[in-house]
Structure 1
């Protein structure tokens, strides 16, 4: 999906691309179905989590080693991007829940990175 020399940038761009695609599909589903807007947070968390896992997987696979490192930093890079968009574009004030999102983004990305390294080595 993304081409770069850095596994972290590749993973973060992949994560961002998957979030955009997932958000577009969710908005189409919301518009053309009877789905309630009350279910939207579940879709949002699921799309972000799955995208972070896949982005971390790709970063770990491209890195070839230290999957937790490349995947975790992919999660941190994605967090910084989302935080900056929220802070600068929507004037969202930093709260304690932001730190929870940072920790979760790191952990999910790191898990994806570990899977990326281990599954790519088992297929060689």
Structure 2
């Protein structure tokens, strides 16, 4: 009987699910950081949309990077899919919690999500080497 020399490892999580988990953890940490900035400084709540977009961009860059690194190929594809799913989850939470509909900001968030997660996915694939 021949011994098995190589055992293939199965991936525990898909690249998109891994990226989503990282993106939401970073988003949660960024939300806490933004809350502390608003609490401890003289920043107004009128700056909140800018802080929100910055938070989404950073979390999607990290999530796209993780998805691209885990996939190994097609980082823009996995990053873009991550951006779409992330945006759909955010839209569902906004609709169910705050009865918010789709508007121009929703379309802007979708574009920003696709772009930043796709760029993160590209960097993730290239950081694997």
Q: TM-score, normalised by structure 2?
A: 0.84
Quote the residue 2:126 is aligned against.
Answer: 118
Match for residue 32 of structure 2?
Answer: 24
Matched, 1:49 2:57: yes
Which of residues 94, 104, 113 in structure 2 aligns to 1:105? 113
Unaligned residue ranges in structure 2 (runs of 5+): 1-10
Aligned length: 119
Output one character per residue of 1:58-87: Cα deviation in whole Å (capped at 9) or x when no partner: 100011111001111111111011000011
For structure 1, the residue ranges without an aligned partner over 5 or more in a row are none
- How do 1:1-124 and structure 2 match up within 5 A? 5-121=13-129
Which whole-Å CA distance do the structure 1 matches of 2:49 and 2:93 have between them? 18
Structure 1 vs Structure 2 CA RMSD: 1.6
Greater C-alpha radius of gyration: 2
Query: Between Structure 1 and Structure 2, which shows a larger proportion of helix residues?
Result: 1
TM-score by length of 1: 0.88
1:38–1:16 CA distance, 2 compared to 1 (3 A): same
